[in-house]
Amino acid sequence: MGQGQQENVATSLAGAVSEEISASLAPVDAELERRYPGGPGTRQPVHTVYVPGDVFAADTIRSWGDQALTALDEHAPDAASFAAVLGLSDELAEPVYARVRAKLEREPIEDLRVDFEDGYGPRPDAEEDAAAARAARLIAEAYENGTAAPYMGIRMKCMEAPVRDRGIRTLDVFLTGLMEAGGLPEGLVLTLPKVTYPEQVTAMVRLLEEFEKARGLEAGRIGFEIQIETSQSILATDGTATVARMIQAAERRATGLHYGTFDYSACLGVSAAYQASDHPAADHAKAIMQVAAAGTGVRVSDGSTNVLPVGPTEKVHDAWRLHYGLTRRALSRAYYQGWDMHPGHIPTRYAAVFAFYREGFEQAAARLARYANRAGGDVMDEPATAKALSGYLLRGLDCGALDIAEVARVTGLTRADLEGFASPRRGDLTASAK
């Protein structure tokens, strides 16, 4: 057959068959779109810092950055010494160290949660009321004067009976304070801890609905994170994955699932000496969380380590190596966020994150460039892989590990191009790259 001639194609099915099948699957199509809308397309912070409600102050963010810089000055004053502690390659040592210091000066905390739960404890009602109102005022002022972290909010007490009313009141005082100060900031994040049953998530949804109605806010304006800290939140008595039901109970308000390392480990009877984010019990829980959240737009966060980098240099270095290793391990498992409990943790948080993105940058960028240009190579990538590659580069850009100029140099792509690959239409992921 000559070039340009049309191939004769024969079929056996009547057109009505396809129409009938499409009609029968229309409810499934709608359900897929409702339950699995894909990623939110917004920046995910690399960590969450928890500060007790009575400790949080106007200078907390800057203070953490200054304390972290002081720790570097004392225990790793240059790139070579920092690289030696963490095992960074010569190629990575200087760019990672320089970026860590710049990050600590510019944006030391990406996500801050003022804690009114375990880190705060039971207090007289008047004292907690005052602390919640103060947190609202300070956060509103921080967003107004440009000193806020990209994300800020509170962790309230849980929905269990002994503390339920107190948690609801604290949330009300805090949100009302923000509204009175000018409105809810875009970076507002709320955390609901110790969730065991989906009904507790439903209660949180109802609570936020009532607040939105009372203040004339758009329905669905306020979202929240669900903290996974109990065995029942992973596996229900009927054998189903409770966390998947919690996501649905949130009615698209859930923004994240946060793993609570120590409460969850204790719930399973893990001895205190072995309670860590790399324990097999932790891996199991986070794997269930990850699968339940995939495609829903809900993000998964790892927990924390309670080994603090304080004391003599040798002890600080040991704690840094532990924290760096746990963070790198989490990143390789696609847990792109975790908790940091002490200013001394954030140098190694950023070192691990920056090393993760910088060491894989050239390969990821080159692969995406080949895919975008339909060029050959030793790897045949598909739309789903292009989504992962562009997501990797975007996360590196968001946290400061990468610069848009160097990404553009290798890929030839703009940020808008990357975002297009990172959020493809659902049908694009079912077709192989041609």
Domain of 312, CATH number, reads: 3.20.20.60
Number of domains in the chain: 2
Grade residue 302 by pLDDT with cuts at 50, 70 and 90.
very high
Q: What's the full length of the chain, in residues? A: 434
pLDDT at 15: 84
Q: Is the pLDDT of residue 171 over 50?
A: yes
**What is the rounded end-to-end Cα distance, in angstroms, of the chain?**
23
pLDDT at 6: 73
**Residue 270: φ, ψ to 5°:** -70, 130
Mark whether 345 and 406 lie in a shared domain.
no
> Is 368 contained in some domain?
yes
Which one, of 419, 294, 400, lies nearest residue 45 by Cα?
400
Mark whether 402 and 388 lie in a shared domain.
yes
CA geometry: angle 345, 347, 352, nearest 5 deg: 95
Mark whether 389 and 286 lie in a shared domain.
no
Average pLDDT, the chain: 93
> Is 326 contained in some domain?
yes
Mark whether 336 and 371 lie in a shared domain.
no
Range of the domain at 384: 361-430
> Is 8 contained in some domain?
no
Indicate the helix (H) or strand (E) that contains 118. none
> Is 27 contained in some domain?
no
Q: Is the pLDDT of residue 431 over 60?
A: no
Grade residue 153 by pLDDT with cuts at 50, 70 and 90.
very high
> Is 329 contained in some domain?
yes
The domain boundary, picked from 358, 374, 394, lies at 358
> Is 35 contained in some domain?
no
Mark whether 184 and 319 lie in a shared domain.
yes
The domain boundary, picked from 358, 378, 404, lies at 358
Give residue-wise pLDDT tens across range 361-419.
999 999 999 888 875 555 555 788 889 999 999 999 999 999 999 999 999 999 999 99
Contact (CB, 8 A) for 103 and 355: no
Here the tokens at position 344 are: 């001394």
Mean pLDDT value across residues 118-135:
96
The domain boundary, picked from 329, 358, 387, lies at 358
In this prediction the pTM is 0.91
Q: Is the pLDDT of residue 340 over 60?
A: yes
Mean pLDDT value across residues 303-317:
96
Mark whether 323 and 378 lie in a shared domain.
no
**DSSP type of residue 217:** P
Mark whether 212 and 266 lie in a shared domain.
yes
Greatest Cα-to-Cα distance within the chain, rounded to the nearest angstrom: 88
pLDDT at 118: 92
Burial environment of residue 168 by CB neighbours within 10 A (0 to 12, 13 to 18, 19 or more) = middle
Residue bearing tokens 């040798």: 314
Mark whether 354 and 367 lie in a shared domain.
no
Mark whether 132 and 237 lie in a shared domain.
yes
Could you give the CA distance from residue 110 to residue 292 in angstroms, rounded to a whole number? 25
Could you give the CA distance from residue 300 to residue 287 in angstroms, rounded to a whole number? 10
CA-to-CA separations, 327 to 95, 108, 259, 301, in angstroms, rounded = 19, 17, 14, 11
